[in-house]
Amino acid sequence: MATQTAVDTTWVIDPLHSEVQFKVKHLVISTVTGSFGKYEGQIVSHDDDDFDGASVSFSADIDSITTGQEQRDGHLKSADFFDAASHPKLTFVSTSMTKTGDDTYSLIGDLTIRGTTKSVTLNVEHGGQMQDFYGQTKAGFEISGTIKRKEFGLTWDGVTEAGGVVVSDDVKLALNIQVVKQG
């Protein structure tokens, strides 16, 4: 009896049906949402229906950051924050993706921002798979987590006249990703 070997499957991000956002508290009373307009990534799975043990890689162009306010976007791209001129990309490379429930995973990997790499843990919810009108198999994921911006060299701080913090250290990540099966 022959044993079946698993064949790795590559899934590539569909940027037309995905979004990469971050949220950070401003003045501790409201939340500013930002996003990256240019990014790419892939998942390599060992089983078409299960992403346990899959490898994930992702990068975003810092220059594509937008918060809906041009002056703030310029400040975020400057040396005070992301320093897009010296560090044009943010990258993530997984070290593990472990199934935690029927449709949930824990994704651990190395996030590099501004030349600083730290291990982060993200929560992943697999929304399922579907074939689109063109016969392409797609899978959907919601990915969330929180990082400390100062750990990545994003240390700019402003203080209000009353002594309050202008920008929180905690940054919430919110990615809705659709991937397309290759081959």
Rounded distance between C-alpha atoms, residue 167 and residue 26, angstroms:
5
- Read off the pTM: 0.88
The DSSP string of 131-166 is: E-TTS-EEEEEEEEEEEEGGGGT-----B-TTS-BS
173: CB partners within 8 A, 6+ apart: 21, 22, 122, 143, 144, 145, 146, 147
From 3.40.30.10, 2.40.128.110, 1.10.10.10, 3.30.70.580, which CATH number describes the 9-181 domain?
Answer: 2.40.128.110
* pLDDT for the residue numbered 183: 78
* pLDDT for the residue numbered 14: 95
* pLDDT for the residue numbered 171: 87
Rounded distance between C-alpha atoms, residue 108 and residue 98, angstroms:
9
* pLDDT for the residue numbered 50: 85
* pLDDT for the residue numbered 60: 97
Rounded distance between C-alpha atoms, residue 132 and residue 143, angstroms:
22
Rounded distance between C-alpha atoms, residue 146 and residue 95, angstroms:
18
Question: Nearest to residue 22, comparing CAs of 42, 39, 47?
Answer: 39
The structure tokens 């899978």 sit at: 139
Spell out, as residue ranges, where the chain has pLDDT lower than 70.
1-6, 26-30, 48, 156-167
- Tokens linked to 116: 């600083």
β-strand 30-36 against 65-66: which pairing, if any? antiparallel
152 φ, ψ (degrees, to nearest 5) = -105, 15
Q: Structural domain boundaries of the chain? A: 9-181
Rounded distance between C-alpha atoms, residue 59 and residue 160, angstroms:
34
